[in-house]
Chain A
Amino acid sequence: MNIFDIIGPVMVGPSSSHTAGAVRIGYISRRLMNGKIVEANIGLHGSFDLTGRGHGTDRALVAGLLGMQPDDIRIPNSLSIAAEKGLKVSFFSVDLGDVHPNSVVLKLVGPKNRKLEVLACSIGGGRIHISKIDGLSANFSGDYPTLVVHNQDEPGHVAEVTSMLAHKCVNIATMQLFRKERAGSAVMVIECDQEIPAESIRWLEHLDGVSKVTYLSLQDPVDPQSGEESGKDSGARSSLAERSFL
């Protein structure tokens, strides 16, 4: 907690959890898709479903998927911006069971039919938590560069990934392992202090036994939907505010 958690963040209203947090969930999901999304099917759970419209949660999630940050004044118009940019969006109500009341599941489709399912919740004050990726536990905040590797549960994969990180001088901040069943599908979630080079991510994707690699980079990618750098595509935002929020 610092003084700009008290005075700040700069955000589009009305609610830090239902609006600002929702933008951030969309934004982190977009990063997980490498900035490329053509279709989003969004399931709203609990309080997101019940009061989501009044809080603009739907528009906030889509704004984030378009690369906007929580203080972007275009958030209220995100649905029409999505239509202009060719992002197909649909919503449904869903009961996700025993999860945080402000939860959402995003079923995303990218080019070449790349699919990703993100289950996330907004935990208050604009902070978020990614609970599941493709149905497997993930459990990260999006505050760090994060590597999510889906693999077969067999010996050696953790060693392969961590030795690659050591080789690239990437320090691990936190690391978690989950599996569905013994020798079934497993996932490792690694939050890092540094960014992982793109070629190392590609190398991981080709490893035997690795089924999917998802990487959350905090660096600004080139925005394929506008052709501009997504972090800089709006004169409507202030860079100082962004720093306080991230």
Chain B
Amino acid sequence: MSYQSLEEIVKAAKTGGVTFWETILMEDMKNRQVGSRESVAQMRTMYRVMKEADASYERRKRSSSLLVGGDGGRIERARQKGMLLSGDFIAQVMEKAVKMAESNACMKRIVAAPTAGSCGVLPAVLLTYEKQFSERENRMIEAMYVAAGIGEVIAARASISGAEGGCQAEIGSASAMAAGALVYLRGGDDKTICHAVAIALKNLLGLACDPVAGLVEVPCVKRNVVGAVNAVTSCDMAMAGVKSVIPADEVIDAMRQIGRAMPESVRETAEGGLAATATGIRIKKEIQQKHQEELEKIESAANPS
């Protein structure tokens, strides 16, 4: 049985005299009946796959709809030329978030964290942090446990699925996970982790899941940047001593309630929001037409008359 609230995790850590991440590790060992070595090795694999995915970004690649691809390379060049207003840390977070989300859209290998659509958020902040602060990999793995524990509570209390809770459940959850992981890396205590989670999630409450033509491309790729940057600022706020008035667990409950109140048209059905704009509808029609033509081509090749 996994934790149902962040408060429970904080309490269990305090009672056991262990850290937040160790509490999650111990829970995984119990849950799956594995040793700590096996659990940590698996988490390390996840982190390394994220690293590989970031390193193998191809800026010339386009998704099969041709809607996304190449923006990670554009941001990288602009950053290297010093054109960006954001400082170097945020600029790299932005670049990595777009790269990972584009790689996902282009059928490359990623780690769903918590979902494929939001796969850029967590690696964007963690990989940037490791590089800029020359952090040890083991500490990064520990931060992954913090993120996983936060995600698990969100999944238990609310949802991590866009079809159920809208984009707030995907990008919002990923952002909250990343914010908590960053606070851990900055040396914040467990309560500060919870404040960062609450702040990050609050900022993204109500976000609709309205992908154009139903594809994990527009607006999903760029939303990964919002989730990642929001994680950094939420961490900074919490570390500065800013507290969330509403406790994290209650914010998660609010997300659940908002998700339920959202019309189905903005929960991954591609019937509302951006998907229902004039341009969104035109793109959908073009893609369907292209699909139909290709099917006919396959059919005529299979049955020459």
Residues on A lying within 8 angstroms of B by beta carbon are: 1-16, 19-20, 47, 50-51, 53-56, 59, 71, 73, 75-76, 90-93, 124-126, 238, 240-241, 243-244
> What 20 additional pairs, Cβ within 8 angstroms, besides A7-B112, A13-B108, A51-B213?
A3-B27, A3-B43, A6-B152, A7-B43, A7-B46, A7-B111, A7-B114, A10-B45, A10-B46, A10-B111, A10-B112, A12-B107, A13-B106, A14-B63, A20-B112, A53-B294, A55-B215, A75-B107, A125-B115, A126-B112
B109 touches A54 (CB 8 A): no
Give the CA-CA distance A2 to B29 in the complex, in Å.
Answer: 10
In this complex, what residue of A is CB-closest to B66?
A: A54
A50 touches B214 (CB 8 A): yes
B116 touches A14 (CB 8 A): yes
Interface status of B274 (Cβ within 8 A of chain A):
no
Q: Is the interface of A mostly helix, strand, loop or mixed?
A: mixed
Assuming A6-B113, A71-B109, A93-B295, is B270 touching A13 (CB within 8 A)? no
Interface status of B216 (Cβ within 8 A of chain A):
yes
Using an 8 Å CB-CB cutoff, how does the interface string of B160-186 with A read, 1 for contact, 0 for none? Answer: 110100000000000001000000000
Q: Which residues on B sit within 8 Å (CB–CB) of A73? A: 108-109
Q: Which residues on A sit within 8 Å (CB–CB) of B216? A: 13-15, 55
In this complex, what residue of B is CB-closest to A71?
A: B109
- Place the interface of chain B in its size category: 35 or more
B2 touches A2 (CB 8 A): yes
B215 touches A54 (CB 8 A): yes
B163 touches A124 (CB 8 A): yes
Residues on B lying within 8 angstroms of A by beta carbon are: 2, 24, 27-28, 31-32, 41-43, 45-46, 49, 63-65, 103-117, 119, 122, 144-145, 147-149, 151-152, 155-156, 160-161, 163, 177, 213-217, 270, 287-288, 290-291, 294-295, 298-299, 302
CB-contact partner of A56 in B32, B64, B114, B288, under 8 A: B64
Q: Is the interface of B mostly helix, strand, loop or mixed?
A: helix
Q: A-B pairs with the 7 shortest C-beta distances? A: A13-B104, A6-B151, A3-B148, A51-B214, A14-B216, A76-B107, A54-B215
Assuming A7-B147, A12-B109, is B298 touching A91 (CB within 8 A)? yes
CB-contact partner of A13 in B105, B122, B294, under 8 A: B105
Assuming A13-B110, A16-B115, is B105 touching A240 (CB within 8 A)? no
Assuming A6-B113, A7-B148, A54-B214, is B103 touching A13 (CB within 8 A)? yes
Give the CA-CA distance A1 to B262 in the complex, in Å.
Answer: 25
B63 touches A4 (CB 8 A): no
